[in-house]
Structure 1
Amino acid sequence: MTSTSTSAAEPTGFLRAHQSQFSTLYRAIDVVIILACLQFSLSVLSLPLTSTEIMLALGAAVGFMLTSESLELYRSWRFSRGEDLVRTVTLSWAITCGLSASVLIYFAPPDRLMTEQLVVWALVTWSVMAIWRLMYRQFLFYLRRAGYNSRRAGIVGLTDAGLALANEIAANDQLGTRFIGFFDDRDASRLQSEGSQLLLGKVDDAIELARQHHIDLLYIALPLKAEQRIMEIIKRCGDTTIDVQLIPNLMIYRMLHARWHRVGQIQTMSVVDSPLLGFSAWLKRVEDLVLSSLILLMIALPMLAIALGIKLTSPGPVLFKQDRYGIDGRRIRVWKFRSMKVMDNGSVVKQATKGDPRITRFGSFLRRTSLDELPQFFNVLQGSMSIVGPRPHAVAHNEEFRTIVDGYMLRHKVKPGITGWAQINGWRGETNTIEKMEGRIAFDLAYIRNWSIWFDLKIVLMTVFKGFIGKNAY
């Protein structure tokens, strides 16, 4: 954790000072990309440029500008994830293409050749738009690490939340935030000993530095119970041009996709919410349908061979169906290849242990290789599960651990998955201690907090190489 002197007012904000010019250039680049990609697509397909294509491209450019403005694509993405930026670009361009295609079909229905041309143009344009933004983002990260385009930040409150924020600022220098120090009105005996060397003064000193333009951003990390004091500080900051952000210390690391909502004229903030709402939920469902369909086509014959092996090696049905909890804690019926001589599905379900006599010889092989989970791809097609998500537990185990493990039921804010972040990190198999279950839940909640389509694909890829076989699978 480092601080910088407030006496120097070096010109680190060149890009910020010319933000409006860069914002205009940003939009102009998008228009050029749309037009240039159309010409490129026509060249690839050896087609001439006609007035129809020109009008379509110009209309798409205008439509994209309007759509992007409504989705706030041209806002600052300094503190946002690259995945969120790409997602917004994708949604903006998808809406634009949908509207453009509707207008074209109405006025001039395209033939097969023109349809191919439009599909190529749409894909090429989307790719270029996403790639150039990510490259520009990395360029800005480079500049910020070099000290350019940076913002000086102070923190009011030498608290646990304030210390955690200061450490995050130091660990994420690509954001271009330079931490200068803490400000706190409390007596030194009441302050955290850690970080005390970075205490620059009282709140009055922070306000004065803001007036002198030595601080660009002020974080307030006071306890929420100090509401009157917080409001007083915010009011005093109104006499400056400084940006102010509030750091709530209530469950600061337990919030699950906090977002603002409005009830009439009252704003509320959800501290526990699902990441899969709106477009994200639609994207996740498309991912599940596409991947599960492709995988089922590839594993159809192996599944038939497994079914035959179960029938030949032990009496009983091929499939085992067990009640488990799905999204929002609703019960679902999960399918598996039968690997045991018993089929527990009641109020008491004993977990499989190493050398468990209930496991059949062929079932032992299926469990070690996770092949017993393959029928769950039908659960994915059905919509009760996802390819990636927290593994579903038996209802009996849910009822046992929900009162013991803190935050256990939060894992049900998304659909359960065939594979998950916990499983590829070694948290699979028997959970015969509270510590093991807590470890699994910690990874499940980390997945939910950091969900993105790219995170899902990463987990799927890692599962192929390390997720099927593990020392805890029996």
Structure 2
Amino acid sequence: MLKKWEALPDFMKNDEVRVYYNSLQKKKVSMFLKRVMDLVGGVILLIILAIPMGIIAVMIKLDSEGPVFYRQERVTTYGKHFRIHKFRTMVSNADKIGTAVTVGNDNRITKVGSRLRGCRLDELPQVLDLISGNMSFVGTRPEAVKYVEKYKPEYFATLLLPAGITSEASIRYKNEAELLDSADDVDKVYVEKVLQDKMEYNLESIIKFSVFGDLTTMFRTVFAVLGKDYK
């Protein structure tokens, strides 16, 4: 549930965030239903996906050395840090030999990883983050700590809701890696261009937040993965 304004972290208590906070205050029932949907849906998905996830885990171990999961530190509600669950799609310690975002021709990606990323199957373990409450089905994608540290004041409004597995911004930027291919300084282009563009969708989604809207985004995500292009 939404914390009282006085209980928010100091870095979030600014005039820009207040606008979005006031909007969410009027939607407490929807926020409760959102959590119920995440918890119940997460448990059901974990049961359904247990065997497929087990098969994928074996494929990853046979393909390359390293752990099955990629557990990078990310940021979610109210600035809380957590270690996200994703299937490892790159060589071990990839974050130490390159940028925190991935480009299309990234040579750190493994053979199995390339297939998983194409269908977004690397995101399946985030069902564990759904159940824990660190993530939601729909919400701003959890950013790495170093990018959150560069947020403009208004961007902190996205931390009023849990980070999401998908979002309108994710749908619009499903080919983000390819967009960064030609960048000389990937981190700079991501922060100054891509992140700014994505935040417009993220902030708009907070103002328009509803359970029905979340369900619509989930269906749009399925179609986007299947090849539909939303512009």
Offset at 1:343?
3.1
Of stretches 278-287 and 436-445 in structure 1, the one that deviates more from structure 2 is 278-287
Q: What residue is the counterpart of 1:359 in the other structure?
A: 109
- Do 1:325 and 1:392's aligned partners in 2 also have CA atoms closer than 8 Å? yes
Corresponding residue number in structure 2 for 1:258: 22
Query: Which of these residues, 444, 456, 459, is aligned with residue 217 of structure 2?
Result: 459
Q: Percent identity?
A: 34
User: Distance between the aligned counterparts of 1:470 and 1:310, measured in 2?
Assistant: 28
Partner residue of 2:162 out of 415, 437, 440? 415
Matching residue within 448, 452, 456 for 2:206: 448
Pairing 1:164-183 to 2, within 5 Å after superposition: none
Change (3 A) 1:468 1:256: farther
Aligned AA for 2:168? W
Q: What code does the residue aligned with 1:287 have?
A: M
Contact kept? 1:323, 1:395, Cα under 8 Å:
yes
Q: Which residue of 1 aligns with 2:135?
A: 385
**Matches of 1:375 and 1:338, distance apart in 2:** 10
Contact 1:256 1:448 in 2 (8 A): yes
* Contact map agreement 1:334 1:376 (CA 8 A) in 2: yes
Q: Which has the higher helix share?
A: 2
Q: 1:303 to 1:352 in 2, by over 3 A?
A: same
Offset of residue 277 of structure 1: 6.4
The structure showing larger relative contact order (alpha-carbon pairs under 8 Å, at least 6 residues apart) is 2
The Cα of 1:287 is off from its aligned counterpart by 0.8
Residue 66 of structure 2 contacts residue 92 of structure 2 at CA under 8 Å; is this kept in 1?
no
User: Structure 1 residues 349, 466: closer, same or farther in 2, change over 3 A?
Assistant: same
Secondary structure at 2:84's aligned position in 1? strand
Cα deviation for residue 408 of structure 1 reads 2.2
CA distance in structure 2 between the partners assigned to 1:398 and 1:349 by the alignment: 15
Give the corresponding residue for 2:70: 320
Aligned length, in residue pairs: 202
Query: 2:151 is matched with which residue?
Result: 402
Provide the rounded CA distance (Å) in 2 between the counterparts of 1:376 and 1:326.
Answer: 13
**Using the alignment, how far apart are the partners of 1:365 and 1:386 within structure 2?**
24
- What is the identity, as a one-letter code, of the residue corresponding to 1:393? E
Unaligned runs of 5+ in 1: 1-249, 260-273
3-state SS of the aligned residue for 1:256? helix
Query: Alignment partner for residue 54 of structure 2, among 304, 307, 312?
Result: 304
**SS of alignment partner, residue 108 of structure 2:** coil
Q: Say which SS state the counterpart of residue 93 (structure 2) adopts.
A: coil
* 1:374 counterpart SS class: helix
- Computing the radius of gyration over CA atoms, which structure comes out larger, 1 or 2? 1
Query: For 1:347-386, what per-residue CA distance to the aligned partner results, in whole angstroms no more than 9, with x for missing partners?
Result: x843211211111111111112111111001100011111
Q: Deviations over 1:224-260 (max 9, x none)?
A: xxxxxxxxxxxxxxxxxxxxxxxxxx97xx931536x
Residue 331 of structure 1, CA deviation: 0.6
Q: How does 1:221-370 map to 2 (within 5 A)?
A: 255-258=19-22, 274=24, 278-343=28-93, 349-370=99-120
Is the CA contact (8 Å cut-off) linking 2:74 and 2:144 kept in structure 1? yes
Residue by residue, what CA displacement relative to the aligned partner does 1:194-218 show, whole Å, maximum 9, x if unpaired? xxxxxxxxxxxxxxxxxxxxxxxxx
Contact 2:65-2:92 within 8 A present in 1 as well: no
Shift of the alpha carbon at 1:296?
2.3
Whether the aligned pair in 2 keeps the contact of 1:320 and 1:343 (CA below 8 Å) is: no
Q: Which amino acid aligns with 2:213?
A: F
The alignment yields a C-alpha RMSD, in angstroms, of 2.6
Paired residue for 1:61?
A: none
Deviations 1:365-419 (A, max 9, x none): 11121111110011000111111111001112222x315xx62222111100111
Query: What is the alpha-carbon distance in structure 1 between the residues aligned to residue 68 and residue 45 of structure 2?
Result: 20
